[in-house]
Structure 1
Amino acid sequence: MSFPLSEATPLRFALTLPKACDVVVLGGGVIGVMTAWYLAELGQRVVLCEKGRIAAEQSSRNWGWIRQQGRDLAELPIMMESLSIWKSLAAEFGPALGFAQEGVLYPARSAAELAGFDAWRAEAQGHGLHSQMLTRAQIADQIAGLAAPWLGGLFTGSDARAEPATAVPMLAAGAVARGAMLVENCALRRLDRAGGRITGVFTEQGRIACDQVVVAGGAWSALFLRAEGISLPQLAVLASVAATESLPQVFAGNVADDRFAFRRRQDGGYTIAPGASHDFFIGPDAFRHLPKYLPVLNKDFKSTSFRAAAPKAFPDAWGTKRHWQADEASPFEAMRVLNPAPNLATLAQVRADFAAALPALGLPKLRAAWAGMIDTMPDVVPVIDRAPGLDGLIIATGLSGHGFGIGPGMGRVIADLVTGRTPGHDLHRFRACRFTDGSPAATGPSL
């Protein structure tokens, strides 16, 4: 069974830190793990520091989708490469990875939705992606016992899925096999720098000399960067997810409409979640960055449930420290694993919507429920860039719920960025300065 990892997960990577290396990666999610993987393949001495457990936060809490469909068009070429890499990973690691290429379906309840899907399809076709519009009858032919009032939908048959809680630790082991050093329960506290460049990092276990650092800390990235004098308008939203007991298969692929989403699990159940809604805790960064988020709020305001304050020690909680020294315990040690409680009322509605759409399955019993904090940016695309004004610092964060599927391809791109190689993709859309250089906001698709 594939459920999220936590602080209770036994340590698997507990090594003594080296005195020096070439690159330090902050964060043991899929982006950090695959960056370390490719850096090691390029001959770099790389150390990945994870404050808690590898993949214990959003990388084991996501839906498990590996989708090209609905991507921002700047992400799409990297995602298409990533899918190709996932296929090679499946060949290397075998069935335990949970990789299955069964497609993604976005059904629509309105003509306006259908038109939006078709417009995206036409643009994506220019990148060589084959997606198709399906009629209601065609969807009903694929999904047994369908009762949802869907008019039609968008389908990409080449899209896939995997089991996050098993897949990412396997990828971590693969990175180690290639020469990367991964260290769990080791928070990276501060950067060491001189003359405008990085000379090392301070961790809770001591200093490591290095000249390059990749910040891939997910929901914690902005807090770390702020302590280093770098303001990044990143926030985090809570996404609730559940796994059902074993049920008959009605569709082998992944489905999401505006109310609920589901995918077939390797254990015979379904992962179910809200199709579009999430919760947001209001904290200091929410006020600080509000002007930059107005475009996406105007677009998706109804999908957000606002909550008064984050629980103690969350990245944007009111009492979370914003400043600390290298020899002080950091906020990253105060909360090893960000493990928020799911919104059970939301999941109850998801169960009801799932049952209404597929009445032959009945109201599903839940085997587990959890939540994760998704790091997001004002335009819903990541920052993948060298930090301005500090030589040797690379920012790789704000994947906005897109990280699991794109992780392998993005890791390859980041490794090339670190080593000065040509990434092979246009990264202009992901530049860090887009929020400060007067560029007009260009929000990615809400698909």
Structure 2
Amino acid sequence: MSATHTDVIVIGGGIVGTATAFFLSRRARSVMLLERGLTGQQASGVNFGGIRRQGRALHQLPIANRALVTWRNAAHWLQHDVEFLPAGHTRVCYHEQDVETFEHYAREARVFGLDLEVLRGREVFARFPLLGRKVLAASISPLDGHANPRVAAPAFARAAARLGAQIRENVAVTLVERDGGGFRVEDANGRVYRCERLVICAGAWANRLSAQFGEPVPLDAHGPQMAVTEPVPYVFGSSMGVYTHVKAESVYFRQIPRGNIILGGGPPGPADIDTCRAAVTPLNMVRQMAQFRRLVPALAPLHVIRTWSGVEGYLPDGEPIIGASAAVDGLYYGFGFCGAGFQLGPGVGETLAELVDTGTSAIALDAFSIDRFTKRAATAFKTAGAS
């Protein structure tokens, strides 16, 4: 069977993979994207849809800022409305030590171009009168917002295709290997693809591919616990979440203009990369709703009309893997976003495209290198062998 050859193959059709294909196509690279299902079907299509910069590790903010530029221009660049609503993002807290965290983070984030407004006590309720009175403070990021994850990755894929990229869905990649000066990729049906550069953006399935290059990582799969209510009058412009060290308290919501309120948070549920399935657990949902009533008592009478989940990839340090392979020239990664990659996706895609095309990137990626795991694994292996 003859092989298809292109400059760059991107494996994975989530927000990161499709954005990478889009920005590579803008750089006039020939690109093929291979997706095991449909674009945006898993983590990128089932998440909360938050376009949130605040609360991120400070070293993620340059990518988040770059991503925000794309979100602002998405309707024009992609020729499709991804329902980006720059209505702001608000974090609230219940514990006094977290108030101090808000103020400290606001000072540090300002250096990275993120301006936040921190409110305390009565100032919070003057701005957000529907909040429960257990809330002590709020941190507001006025330029953030939310978008529709169901349409975003497919819109990037279609835009990439208009620029010449080949988007191939329902292609399950099973084998990746170095092949001379490039790479050989094989799918479950025995079709072979060849490329000069390879970018793995395969989400929770990425370890199965990175391990074939001697770079395994401890990637786990979990599922977000998501729900949506019946429509009610539109009163919440800003998306809102609880900052806390108590996982059960960590819930978030946003309201879309037609009135439905989208809910998420709390402990994640089970997910399986073999079946490509994830579940909302009844106990998680009951506990989640109790936290929403605490956050906004007026939500208590609303009916939940649908719940859903999807397969997300998590790494133990909570940081993604972004950048060049530590072992193989011409190989790049963008995965492991730990349930927080939707906003970053366009920024990661633009940065990976820049890196693939020029060999360097304007944003430092050292903190996201895959070798933070592969070095650890090699050290552990040597230690075990010496004992």
Report the counterpart of residue 116 of structure 1 in structure 2: 101
What is the CA deviation profile of residues 368-394 of structure 1, one whole-angstrom value per residue up to 9, with x for unaligned ones? 101123212222111112222222221
Report the counterpart of residue 261 of structure 2 in structure 1: 270
Q: CA deviation at 1:426?
A: 0.9
Between 428-437 and 39-48, the greater mean CA deviation after superposition: 428-437
Report the counterpart of residue 185 of structure 2 in structure 1: 201
Report the counterpart of residue 81 of structure 1 in structure 2: 66
Give 1:352's aligned amino acid. A
Report the counterpart of residue 91 of structure 2 in structure 1: 106
Q: CA deviation at 1:93?
A: 5.3
Q: Is the 8 A contact 2:92 2:137 kept in 1?
A: yes
2:231 matches 1:246: yes
* CA RMSD, 1 decimal: 2.1
Q: Distance in 1 between matches of 2:233 and 2:3?
A: 51
Q: CA deviation at 1:348?
A: 2.0
Give 1:432's aligned amino acid. I
Q: Is the 8 A contact 2:177 2:213 kept in 1?
A: no
1:347 to 262, 279, 285: 285
Report the counterpart of residue 252 of structure 2 in structure 1: 261
Between 141-150 and 419-428, the greater mean CA deviation after superposition: 141-150
Give 2:186's aligned amino acid. F
Q: Distance in 1 between matches of 2:376 and 2:299?
A: 52
Equivalent residue runs for 1:316-355 within 5 Å: 335=275, 338-355=276-293
SS of the residue aligned with 1:22?
A: strand
Q: Distance in 2 between matches of 1:199 and 1:170?
A: 28
Q: Is the 8 A contact 2:15 2:44 kept in 1?
A: yes
Change (3 A) 1:178 1:93: closer
Q: CA deviation at 1:138?
A: 2.5
Report the counterpart of residue 354 of structure 2 in structure 1: 416
2:211 matches 1:226: yes
Q: Is the 8 A contact 2:35 2:170 kept in 1?
A: yes
Q: CA deviation at 1:199?
A: 2.9
2:339 matches 1:401: yes
Q: Name the % identity.
A: 28
Q: CA deviation at 1:418?
A: 1.3
Change (3 A) 1:112 1:226: same
Report the counterpart of residue 217 of structure 1 in structure 2: 202
Equivalent residue runs for 1:353-432 within 5 Å: 353-432=291-370
Report the counterpart of residue 22 of structure 1 in structure 2: 7
- Return the TM-score normalized by structure 2: 0.89
Between 205-214 and 360-369, the greater mean CA deviation after superposition: 360-369
Q: CA deviation at 1:270?
A: 0.9
Q: Is the 8 A contact 1:198 1:390 kept in 2?
A: no
Report the counterpart of residue 189 of structure 1 in structure 2: 174
Q: Is the 8 A contact 2:19 2:153 kept in 1?
A: no
Q: Distance in 1 between matches of 2:153 and 2:84?
A: 12
In structure 1, runs of 5+ residues without a counterpart are 1-16, 282-309, 316-330, 440-447
Q: Distance in 2 between matches of 1:415 and 1:94?
A: 20
1:146 to 128, 131, 143: 131
Q: CA deviation at 1:228?
A: 4.1
SS of the residue aligned with 1:403?
A: coil
Report the counterpart of residue 170 of structure 1 in structure 2: 155
Q: Distance in 2 between matches of 1:238 and 1:79?
A: 23
In structure 2, runs of 5+ residues without a counterpart are 378-387
Change (3 A) 1:185 1:95: closer
Q: CA deviation at 1:237?
A: 2.4
Give 1:365's aligned amino acid. H
Give 2:256's aligned amino acid. R
Give the paired residue count: 369
Report the counterpart of residue 299 of structure 1 in structure 2: none
Change (3 A) 1:30 1:134: same
Q: Distance in 2 between matches of 1:146 and 1:199?
A: 54
Q: CA deviation at 1:94?
A: 7.1
Between 76-85 and 87-96, the greater mean CA deviation after superposition: 87-96
Q: CA deviation at 1:249?
A: 2.7
- Return the TM-score normalized by structure 1: 0.78
Q: CA deviation at 1:438?
A: 6.2
Q: CA deviation at 1:174?
A: 1.0
Q: CA deviation at 1:92?
A: 4.2
Q: Distance in 2 between matches of 1:62 and 1:411?
A: 18
Change (3 A) 1:431 1:356: closer
Q: Distance in 1 between matches of 2:374 and 2:33?
A: 30
